[in-house]
Amino acid sequence: MKPWRRILAVILLLTLAVAAQDGDFEVRGGALPSTWTGGPERGASRRFEAHRREDNPSLWGQVDVLTQTPSTLEQLKANQSPHSDSAETSWETGRLHNYATYTYHVRESSDILIERDEVYVALSERVWAHVTLDRSCSLTRAVMQDGSEIPPDTVPMVYERKFIPVDAEAQVSQLRSEEDAILQSLEFVLDGSPPGSEELPEIPWATVVGGGVAVVVAAALAAAARKKPPARPSRPEPEKEKSPKRQDPSPVYVLQLNADRLEVPVSPPASLVARVWQVEPATGTYRPVPDAVLEVIAPQEVQVATHPSPGTLTCELVLAGPTDLESANLTVQARAGGSLHEAQVRLHLAGQVTMEFF
């Protein structure tokens, strides 16, 4: 090989090596709601995939993390997945932990409501984590001709079934909240170094039962006051040095329940309502958290029907069948701001089903 060709080959190899190192990162964490499956792939820490699927109605959610070939933001914007001309699209800037993000939204609807977010996380000047968030829900679902649910393991004939409307907006909104919680739980490590040098603030939680907004704010202020303050320096700072500007306390999340004790009968169902609020301790201002993810974990003796809406979860509870238990606990899980909080609801199985033999 001629010397100049050998030099070019060495330069090319070095360039490829630098590019490979420049685009190297790991993705860790990924706390999944109970209805989701997946996570980091074994032996491939740069890949993360999780999904949720239901068949009636047709419901699909997916979170997919890929390595993006080193490129500029302009190149990323120019190379988006194809979509129909009627789709609504937009770009949005934001932050994920200590990184800037650029999100491309796509939304379209025909027989199915479809949303997709292409989230580009700027790990360095030219290295991006590419996170795809897919969610969709059909606008109808199948039931029997009399309106009853299709029995399990049954495939009815065409003339035996009909289709009824589905609140696809609420279903997709719930998927969006769950995907955001998964995204917030991810940690990106670039070239073996943890992301960012600043620690994320610890977010306190509080639980309140009943009451109005005043009770929510009071509980949040109490939780902020209980938060351990940062340790003071061992030596006083010289007078000539200015003390760092005091930061406002981090927001407090409050899980509000309509009850922490419920009597669960055979019928009619008992009702449990959970919602999440965010309170700013410095100003006392408050707001609901529409992207909060709420779930319940019920004992097997209790059957739960959930009705999600942004930031709120309404549940109907009935006994699932005969039981000898008199009481049990139900767990309410709330995810917001990348953190998880749990509360317990005591269930009294009042309408016990007993078997009598003659």
pLDDT-based confidence at residue 65 (cuts at 50, 70, 90):
confident
Higher pLDDT, 274 or 247: 274
Nearby residues of 84 by Cβ (< 8 Å), 6 or more positions away: 108
pLDDT attached to residue 126 = 67
Nearby residues of 343 by Cβ (< 8 Å), 6 or more positions away: 207, 255, 257, 260, 331, 332, 334
- Torsion angles phi and psi, residue 119, rounded to 5: -105, 120
Distance CA 218, CA 199 (A): 27
For 246-265, what is the mean pLDDT? 83
Distance CA 51, CA 165 (A): 24
Distance CA 131, CA 118 (A): 6
pLDDT-based confidence at residue 19 (cuts at 50, 70, 90):
very low
| Mean pLDDT, the chain, integer | 78
For 181-207, what is the mean pLDDT? 68
How many Cβ atoms from other residues are within 10 Å of residue 31's Cβ? 15
- Angle in degrees, CA 346, 349, 354, rounded to 5: 160
pLDDT at 194 over 50: no
* % of the chain at pLDDT higher than 90: 20
Higher pLDDT, 116 or 47: 116
pLDDT at 137 over 70: yes
In this structure, the strands spanning 270-280 and 252-257 are: antiparallel
* % of the chain at pLDDT higher than 70: 75
For 271-287, what is the mean pLDDT? 91
pLDDT at 20 over 50: no
Q: Please, how many CA atoms are within 13 Å of residue 165, restricted to the half-sphere of its CB?
A: 3
- Angle in degrees, CA 63, 138, 85, rounded to 5: 80
How many Cβ atoms from other residues are within 10 Å of residue 246's Cβ? 6
